[in-house]
Amino acid sequence: MEKLKLDFCRKILVTGGARFYLYSKIGGRWSDTPTGYFNVEKIRESHVAPKGTSAVDTIEALTPMNLIRG
Protein backbone atom coordinates (compact mmCIF):
# COMPACT_ATOMS: atom_id res chain seq x y z
CA MET A 1 0.00 0.00 0.00
CA GLU A 2 2.83 2.37 0.79
CA LYS A 3 4.14 2.02 -2.78
CA LEU A 4 0.78 3.21 -4.16
CA LYS A 5 1.12 6.45 -2.18
CA LEU A 6 -2.51 6.60 -1.13
CA ASP A 7 -1.74 9.22 1.51
CA PHE A 8 -5.34 10.03 2.41
CA CYS A 9 -6.50 6.41 2.54
CA ARG A 10 -6.78 5.03 6.09
CA LYS A 11 -8.51 1.69 5.48
CA ILE A 12 -8.33 -0.95 2.76
CA LEU A 13 -10.81 -3.80 2.34
CA VAL A 14 -9.42 -6.89 0.63
CA THR A 15 -11.68 -9.73 -0.43
CA GLY A 16 -11.10 -13.38 -1.13
CA GLY A 17 -14.57 -14.41 -2.27
CA ALA A 18 -16.81 -14.46 0.80
CA ARG A 19 -13.95 -13.47 3.13
CA PHE A 20 -13.20 -9.81 3.76
CA TYR A 21 -10.04 -8.54 5.45
CA LEU A 22 -9.71 -4.98 6.70
CA TYR A 23 -6.28 -3.36 6.91
CA SER A 24 -5.84 -0.04 8.67
CA LYS A 25 -3.20 2.64 8.82
CA ILE A 26 -2.00 2.86 12.42
CA GLY A 27 0.37 5.62 13.45
CA GLY A 28 0.96 6.56 9.82
CA ARG A 29 1.90 2.99 8.78
CA TRP A 30 -0.15 0.14 7.33
CA SER A 31 -0.69 -2.82 9.64
CA ASP A 32 1.01 -6.05 8.57
CA THR A 33 -1.91 -8.14 9.78
CA PRO A 34 -5.63 -7.56 9.24
CA THR A 35 -7.30 -5.29 11.78
CA GLY A 36 -10.68 -6.76 10.91
CA TYR A 37 -12.27 -9.76 9.25
CA PHE A 38 -15.65 -11.17 8.36
CA ASN A 39 -17.00 -13.98 6.23
CA VAL A 40 -20.35 -13.15 4.59
CA GLU A 41 -21.25 -16.84 4.44
CA LYS A 42 -20.59 -17.40 8.17
CA ILE A 43 -20.77 -14.11 10.04
CA ARG A 44 -19.54 -14.61 13.59
CA GLU A 45 -18.99 -12.14 16.35
CA SER A 46 -15.40 -13.29 16.91
CA HIS A 47 -12.83 -15.22 14.90
CA VAL A 48 -9.79 -17.29 15.75
CA ALA A 49 -7.82 -15.93 12.81
CA PRO A 50 -6.92 -13.17 12.47
CA LYS A 51 -6.68 -13.19 16.26
CA GLY A 52 -8.93 -10.74 18.06
CA THR A 53 -10.96 -9.66 15.06
CA SER A 54 -14.70 -9.21 15.32
CA ALA A 55 -17.11 -9.27 12.38
CA VAL A 56 -19.33 -6.77 14.18
CA ASP A 57 -16.45 -4.36 14.82
CA THR A 58 -15.20 -4.78 11.25
CA ILE A 59 -18.57 -4.02 9.68
CA GLU A 60 -19.04 -1.08 12.05
CA ALA A 61 -15.60 0.29 11.08
CA LEU A 62 -16.74 0.33 7.44
CA THR A 63 -19.90 2.37 8.04
CA PRO A 64 -19.79 5.83 6.46
CA MET A 65 -19.73 7.69 9.80
CA ASN A 66 -16.74 5.69 11.06
CA LEU A 67 -14.88 6.10 7.77
CA ILE A 68 -15.27 9.87 8.06
CA ARG A 69 -14.04 9.92 11.66
CA GLY A 70 -11.04 7.75 10.83
Q: Left, alpha or beta for 17 (phi > 0: left; psi -120 to 50: alpha)?
A: left
Phi, psi of 64 (to 5 degrees): -50, -45
Torsion of CA 12, 32, 49, 35, to 10 degrees: -40
Amino acid at 40: V
Q: Is the pLDDT of residue 70 over 60?
A: no
Span 1-43, pLDDT tens digits:
778 777 788 888 999 889 999 999 888 888 888 999 888 888 7
Q: What is the CA radius of gyration of the chain?
A: 12
Structural domain boundaries in the chain: 2-69
pTM of the model: 0.76
